[in-house]
Amino acid sequence: MNRPSPSATSFAIVALLAATATGQSELTIGTARYQKLATRAATEAAVREQLVGGGVEWGPWSSVGAFELTTARLAEARSPELDLARCTAGGPGPDRERDHQDKSGRAVRWTELPRAAGTGGSDGFSTIDLKSGLPAQQHDFACRYLHRTLTCSAPRKVDVRLGSDDGLRLWLNGRLLIDAPVVRGLDAEEHHLTLDLAAGVNHLFAKVTQDQGGFEFALSTGAELPRAAQVALDWQLQVDFPEGESTHWRIASLPILADVALEVGGLDLLPDGRPVVCTRRGDVFIVDDALHLPPRAPTLHHFASGLHEPLGVAVRPDPRAKLGWCVVLAQRGELTRLVDLDGDLAADRFETLCDSWQISGNYHEYAFGPRYDAGGHAWVTLNLGHTGGETTMGTTVPTRGTAVRIDPAGAMAIVADGLRSPDALGPIPGFGMAYTDNQGDYVATNKLSLLRPDSFHGHQSMLRFTRQHDGRAWQKGDPVPARQEPAIWFPYAKLGQSVADFVPDDTGGKFGPFGGQLIVGDQMQAILMRVALDRVKTLDASGVETEVVQGACFPLRSGFKSGVHRLRFAPDGSLWCGLTDRGWGSRGSWRDGLERVLFTGATPFEIAAIRAVAGGFDLEFTLPLDAARPVAPADFALRCWRYHYHPDYGSPEVDGRALSVTRVEARGERTIRVLVDGLAAGTVVELGASGVRAATGAPLLHPTGWYTLQGLPLAP
């Protein structure tokens, strides 16, 4: 569909009105007058009051637990539910002096969560990671309780949206509103409720159960603004109150109209820079008029429809097309080319380029791609099915769990196998093609791995289709091929939970100080991360000198409105982010959409890169260090762990231990060498540098990085 421009009577995003008597312009957001007040919160509240009303004061979250989850699961009351009798309208709330016995037998009490525990957009949406602060042995088969107050001067009704991973009971003033004994991923809008509040103090009380995997609760705490007003308000608050990450990178959200489900499966750019988006529902859109700041509603040209869940898209030259380009995408069962012959921004020809991979009909047999190499070959990664056999994921047909390469004539070859859920792939300059995989059976945690020819990446379910043993097909009990270890392990929940697309920063500094590194999206946590790869000479298990690719990962930007699934850099150096939560769940107040990240020009003080050296690491920083305050071992905190390789879902951090910093050496105004005792190959090293300061006195924006140490570097 061609999306018309908003009419003059539609909800305006931002309008600059006539100059006032003071010579200043008045800013309006929708029908609300925007005025910068003393704080961000006060400014936002004043706008929301004008647009949707207010009058409810939301107290902080408190929690207690975790407690053992028995076979009765949600139905079995634990001791915190004794406090429900105190949580009536006007009541005192939970007894914070009462001890409860948690899953490990410790005495615990209700504890207020930090405000940072609920993160999200300015419509009041928050997500709470219920694993936060818990020891690893309490992460699975547990339940946890939450409480907060809502105070208002008069009775009123408040609409909320909420969800959980896994089961949920929710009470308001002691009355049970939700009873959902289920095992599910987080869907932030699973439940829509109207809370009937009394004058005075009201109590919201929740119980969330956890089997395995994610353990989260999400709630929208305020009436939803129209999208156009919401994105305008978000943008202006970033401009007027830059803080933390938004000081350096601002997020511009596009107010896509609600009648389009833009669940982004694939994202690329036309030669003129316009985004092309394919959706999981089978549509392809070209996005026009999308670069305005503050953002305003773009025009969507409906290029194609009726496709089978495409999860990647590539724009390619095509001399037959009126405008000189075509669109290639991976449907569930084939690689397809879409050609616009007459230049009306609608596909006229649908051509099958390759249909050589197999599908069985299992809902989980996704196909991701294509991404092209320098030789014009299309690469596609093929997801395993959700078989529920000995492992969660498996296959009944060949080619599942593989990476395939398709030549210009359409011939397909398997390049690598042992993949599980390989959501994204792409070329990395100097390193070749790589892919990301998600935590699960045989995958300890999210990872980034190089797709070397004939490499095996660990999942054993497809070996009987792809590997030969003594002239016969591989079968259970045969030797398992040597695994290619990932270049990067992303520590689960600490940094990402559902790793997605990645793009090399080739913007020449337009996106900030991390040129040449990878910018990586996470679909569950709705964040951007970054990766600095490191090429190291080491010894293999036989004592032969070899080279490994490993490196470090870091946080970059949080606060996106939905899961960050697909990424592409624009010609101006901004980063397009395609969003979705459908089917997988994510943080954020939207189900889908497009956002653009822009560097403000203010360089943050960060660890730019971590490089392994004999006996330790070199840390490079983005800004000069404080020469008047020499760094010392006490400025750093290091620990390491390893992961199990097994068919279970994911792996805990095992053999965790602290590492001792023996010496710190300055090696230039921006580089420090940290010498460490006890480093071991095959571990992840968490490196905290919270004591380091810039020459300006500023602390690090993100003081922690995680280095995947597959091989110990040889001494020079």
Q: In this predicted model, what pLDDT tens digit does every residue of 405-449 receive, in sequence order? A: 999 999 999 999 999 999 999 999 999 999 999 999 999 999 999
How many Å apart are CA 597 and CA 558, to the nearest integer?
11
Close Cβ partners of 553 (under 8 Å, ≥ 6 residues apart): 488, 490, 495, 520, 529, 530, 531, 532, 705, 706, 708
- The model's pLDDT over 555-611, given as tens digits with 9 standing for 90+, comes to 999 999 999 999 999 999 999 999 998 767 788 888 899 999 999 999 999 999 999
Peptide bond into 422 cis (omega under 30): no
Top-tier CATH class for 56-220: mainly beta
How many CB atoms lie under 10 A from the CB of residue 524?
28
Collapsing DSSP to helix, strand or coil, 310 comes out as coil
Helix (H) or strand (E) run with residue 705 in it = strand 704-709
Three-state helix/strand/coil letters over 408-429: CCCCEEEEEECCCCCCEEEEEC
Tell me what pLDDT residue 153 has: 87
pLDDT for 49 equals 84
CA 277, CA 298: separation in Å to the nearest integer? 13
Give the closest residue to 216 by CA, choosing from 143, 165, 148: 165
Domain ranges of the chain: 56-220, 358-422+424-504
> Which pair of structure tokens corresponds to residue 395?
């296959």
Burial 143-157 (b: 16+ CB within 10 A, else e): bbbbbbbbebeeebe
112: number of CA atoms within 13 Å, CB side? Answer: 6
User: How confident is the model over 224-239, as pLDDT tens digits?
Assistant: 788 899 999 999 999 9
C-alpha span between 122 and 625 (Å, rounded): 35
pLDDT digits (tens, 9 = 90+) for 626-650: 999 889 999 999 999 999 999 999 9
pLDDT digits (tens, 9 = 90+) for 157-176: 888 889 999 999 999 999 99
d(CA 373, CA 583): 30
389: confidence class by pLDDT, cuts 50, 70, 90: confident
Percent of the chain with pLDDT over 70: 94
From CA 487, how far away is CA 504, in angstroms rounded? 15
Buried b (16+ CB within 10 A) or exposed e, 284-318: bbbbbebbeebbbbbbbbbbbeebebbbbbbbeeb
Rounded to 5°, the CA angle 207-210-214 comes to 115
Sequence-ordered list of residues with C-beta below 8 angstroms from that of 15, at least 6 positions apart, any chain = 27, 28
Amino acid at 664: V
Task: Tell me the three-class secondary structure of 450-519, residue by residue.
Answer: ECCCCEECCCCCCHHHHCEECCEECCCCCCCCCECCCCEECCCCCCCCCEEEEEECCCCCCCCCCCCCEE
Contact 213, 188 (CB under 8 A): no
Measured distance CA(345)–CA(330) in Å, rounded: 20
State how far the Cα of 235 lies from the Cα of 243, in Å rounded to an integer.
Answer: 13
What are the C-alpha distances in Å from 36 to residues 41, 49, 358, 403, 435? 10, 14, 58, 52, 45
Backbone angles phi, psi at 131, to 5 degrees: -80, -20
Report the chain's C-alpha Rg in angstroms: 26
Alpha-carbon torsion 306, 308, 310, 314, what sign?
negative
Q: What is the pLDDT of residues 311-356, one digit of tens each?
A: 999 999 999 999 999 999 999 999 999 999 999 999 999 999 999 9
Looking at the chain, how many residues does it have? 716
Mean pLDDT of 67-95: 91
**Is it the case that residue 23 has pLDDT exceeding 50?**
no
